[in-house]
Structure 1
């Protein structure tokens, strides 16, 4: 059976728990992970994305043979158009591709973007991807365990500590913006913590998994779409 999904993963080794875009246990259909050599978090999550050599991504996208092709980092939304042009398959770089649809249904102040790095996402280079979005954008704190695991490519993830940190972050963000009706998770490593977000928020959550499911019904296990 042909793969339903190919995920172009950064060249990282940190743990990918169920619910993460690059964890096979997240899916109900066959999928494959292609690691893009030398693609490091510090290079991809950058205020100057033009400095990134995307040759490896271009080659991987062109070679990917699956119904849907995606990436393991939402900041690659900057290259959505360029990479999509390299394949006839459905290419979804990031959950940020769903932002226009959300903005058609909600006011900007009703949408909260949770991102790996708010400072980088707020850089001028990403203005096209955000298209003038004026709602709240909240990033992981650099002191948070999950941020350190990802940015330093650590081999150990304390899931309970990550849960506690996310709980505090989301609670604080929603207290500052009580009118939020939709949350968009830019970071592909945040979906495993949606159950934590649900402690504080009953509205719509859009992430890389809901975007993939929209493109290929039955791809993602139901438990990770709630």
Structure 2
């Protein structure tokens, strides 16, 4: 009789799950505007399967704010519980402002949680040359507070720029536009980043708070020759740990 493996006692028992083969669950705000490829809420953005759950009642006007109502956490906790019961191994969200909920969600969920693209800021900052800083592009600068950054362990004094509150991008979101123009949105995002870099030449990398901004990340990198990090880079990294690649000969 062979001896038991020295690692046998360390292996977790298989979970019972309703859905198999999906590692990432995405908590989506209660919205109706068109989400383009690259947006967290467009299924074609991902090179792996994801499981969505709409958090009913979590509208942008309730989430994109300096503070959150007390009942908002419960909305997300219940939706996260449903995703875990389905079988996902990690959870993310469709709004960077949910950084405010990060400590609560991590404490609540039995699987890892990556609430916001802002989680990447400490890592990105640690990689930059001396004298360079992370710059943040957000959908709503007025609502992004030091509390959002503190919740994910990021510096609170970073250069920030917002998408124009009276522009087409914000209007399309507020009116739940069924069809949006990639070119019109991109022009506003590039102009916002240009303004940030003019005012803050020390910016050495961009982190995009908003999960609707990744469709324009490649253009930002090509235009300004700076690294760009967003919710897609975060979730792809997150997924890579939940399902590491296998290599030939392994």
Question: TM-score when scaled to structure 2?
Answer: 0.80
Question: How many residues are paired up?
Answer: 218
Q: Pick from 193, 196, 201 the counterpart of residue 216 of structure 2.
A: 193
> Which structure is higher in RCO with an 8 Å CA cutoff and minimum separation 6?
1
Aligned with 1:77 (options 90, 93, 99): 99
Q: CA RMSD in A?
A: 2.1
1:22-62 CA deviation, whole Å, 9 max, x = no partner?
11101121112110111110000111224552222101112
The answer to whether structure 1 residue 172 and structure 2 residue 195 are counterparts is: yes
Give the Cα separation in 2 of the matches to 1:97 and 1:91.
Answer: 11
Counterpart selection for 1:13 from 32, 54, 61? 32
Cα drift, residue 132 of structure 1: 4.0
Partner of 1:92: 114
The answer on 1:141 being equivalent to 2:141 is no
1: CA distance, partners of 2:71 / 2:141: 19
- State whether residues 121 and 134 of structure 2, in contact with CA within 8 Å, keep that contact through their aligned partners in structure 1: no
1:40 aligns with 2:63: no
Aligned CA distance change for structure 1 residues 125 and 177 (closer, same or farther; 3 Å): closer
Determine the structure 2 residue equivalent to 1:55: 74
Question: What SS does the corresponding residue of 1:21 show, helix, strand or coil?
Answer: coil
Structure with higher Rg: it is 2
Structure 1 residues without counterparts, runs of 5 or longer: 220-226
Contact 2:160 2:196 in 1 (8 A): no
CA offset at residue 104 of structure 1? 2.5
**3-state SS of paired residue (2:72):** coil
Distance 1:153 1:125 in 2: 28
Aligned counterparts of 2:22 and 2:65: Cα–Cα separation in 1: 31
Q: For residues 108 and 16 of structure 1, do their structure 2 counterparts lie closer, same or farther at Cα, with a shift above 3 Å needed?
A: farther
CA offsets per residue over residues 76-120 of structure 1, 9 Å max, x none? 010011112222222110011112222333468521000111111
- Deviation, structure 1 residue 169: 1.6
* TM-score for the superposition, normalised by structure 1: 0.88
Aligned to 1:103: 125
Sort the Cα spacing of 1:143 and 1:109 in 2 relative to 1 into closer, same or farther, 3 A: farther
Correspondent of 1:209 among 210, 213, 232: 232
More displaced, 194-203 or 4-13? 194-203
Helix, strand or coil at the partner of 1:141 = coil
Q: Distance in 2 between matches of 1:210 and 1:18?
A: 14
Rounded to whole Å, the distance in 2 between the matches of 1:108 and 1:25 is: 38
